[in-house]
Amino acid sequence: MTHSEKDILKFDNVTKSYPLPDNSKGRVMVFENITFGIEKGVSVAITGRSGSGKSTFLHVAAGLASPDSGTVLYKGEDIAAFSSQKTSKFRSTDVGFIFQANYLLTDFTALENVMLAAQAAGTSERKARTRAQELLSYVGLSDRLSHKPSELSGGEIQRVAMARAVMNKPSIIFADEPTGALDEENAAMVEQMLFSLVKEENLTLFLVSHDAVLSEKCDRRYLLSRRNLERLS
Ligand SMILES: Nc1ncnc2c1ncn2[C@@H]1O[C@H](COP(=O)(O)OP(=O)(O)OP(=O)(O)O)[C@@H](O)[C@H]1O
């Protein structure tokens, strides 16, 4: 497979396994020799059965786990070769994360939780406040700014987490089962807001989920199965 220069993220022959926890010499092979690319501004879903390796794939793609062999490139550069300074910038501003369970800081309000993401990356308090207010209003939470996480519903926490993930204008959002812990009604709302934020902010979305309805909303779909990645659409 050849890669397009437009690819913002590329997997080049990437293999990942885990050592067995019992200290034996065996390993759990998760995926092998995967070559794959994501174009800027495109939403991609990785689907697969439980245990097929979706979360591992996302962790490797986001530089949170190292591959055994092969290279993951962000804008043409090997993420494993980033300096520590570049790694911090990559994690704080180039990418954003949304997980199934998102941990907001319990002693801070919704607004402060979103603002902190930007202040940690060096944005002034005034600018951070303005953007955080805009984003929280965009996800329908302008009347919940001063609520702490214990005073928010699960769906609302997930929407704060989405605002936090896009706060620093990342290029890529990594989402791992972002609606997995929600009831149908909240899942539908979070889903709709995720896709409208992605469009509004012109983001690349890398989503892993076993949920067919959610993955069908993405521009491209892949199936992770038997250590391989197969393109579905
Ligand atoms: N730290 C680890 N050490 C050893 N094996 C692991 C480790 N983490 C995951 N695995 C194994 O790797 C495989 C892939 O796990 P992963 O969590 O990536 O799958 P998944 O598709 O995201 O699953 P689910 O949909 O159930 O969350 C599984 O068989 C799992 O048991």
Mean per-residue pLDDT, 44-59 = 96
List, in sequence order, the alpha helices (H) in the chain. Answer: 54-61, 84-89, 110-120, 125-138, 154-166, 184-200, 212-215
Residue 1's pLDDT band (boundaries 50, 70, 90)?
very low
- Say if ligand 1 is within 6 A of residue 18 CB: yes
Residue 130's pLDDT band (boundaries 50, 70, 90)?
very high
Is the pLDDT reported for residue 2 higher than 50?
Answer: no
CB 168 within 8 A of CB 119: no
Radius of gyration of the chain (CA): 18
Percent of the chain with pLDDT over 70: 98
- Say if ligand 1 is within 6 A of residue 155 CB: no
Indicate the average pLDDT of the chain. Answer: 93
Of ligand 1's listed atoms, the one at least distance from the Cα of 58 is 18
What's the first-to-final CA gap in the chain, in angstroms?
16
CATH topology of domain 7-231: Rossmann fold (3.40.50)
- Say if ligand 1 is within 6 A of residue 52 CB: yes
- Say if ligand 1 is within 6 A of residue 28 CB: yes
Residues 73, 81: Cα–Cα separation, whole Å: 10
- Say if ligand 1 is within 6 A of residue 17 CB: no
Pocket test of ligand 1: the residue of 28, 31, 34, 59 to mutate, having most ligand atoms within 8 Å of its CB, is 28
Residue 3 class from Cβ within 10 Å (0-12 exposed, 13-18 middle, 19+ buried)?
Answer: middle
Q: How far is the CA of 28 from the centre of ligand 1 (A)?
A: 9
Is the pLDDT reported for residue 50 higher than 50?
Answer: yes
The pair of structure tokens assigned to 60 is 């490797």
Task: Look at residue 166 and give its three-state secondary structure.
Answer: helix
- Say if ligand 1 is within 6 A of residue 3 CB: no
- Pick the residue whose CA is nearest to atom 25 on ligand 1: 50
How much of the chain is in helix, strand and coil states, percent to nearest 5? 35, 25, 35
What digits encode the pLDDT tens for the residues 77-115?
999 999 999 999 999 899 999 998 888 999 999 999 999
Q: What pLDDT sits at residue 4?
A: 61
Mean per-residue pLDDT, 139-168 = 94
pTM, full prediction:
0.93
- Pick the residue whose CA is nearest to atom 31 on ligand 1: 51
Q: How far is the CA of 54 from the centre of ligand 1 (A)?
A: 8
Residues 6+ apart with CB under 8 A from 67: 14, 15, 16, 60, 80
Mean per-residue pLDDT, 11-15 = 97
Whether the complex's predicted ipTM surpasses the cut of 0.90: yes
Distances in Å between the alpha carbon of 178 and those of 43, 161, 171, 174, 196?
14, 10, 18, 9, 14
Structural domain boundaries in the chain? 7-231
What digits encode the pLDDT tens for the residues 191-221?
999 999 899 889 999 999 999 889 999 999 9
- Say if ligand 1 is within 6 A of residue 55 CB: yes
Residues 6+ apart with CB under 8 A from 202: 41
Mean per-residue pLDDT, 146-173 = 94
Task: Look at residue 170 and give its three-state secondary structure.
Answer: coil
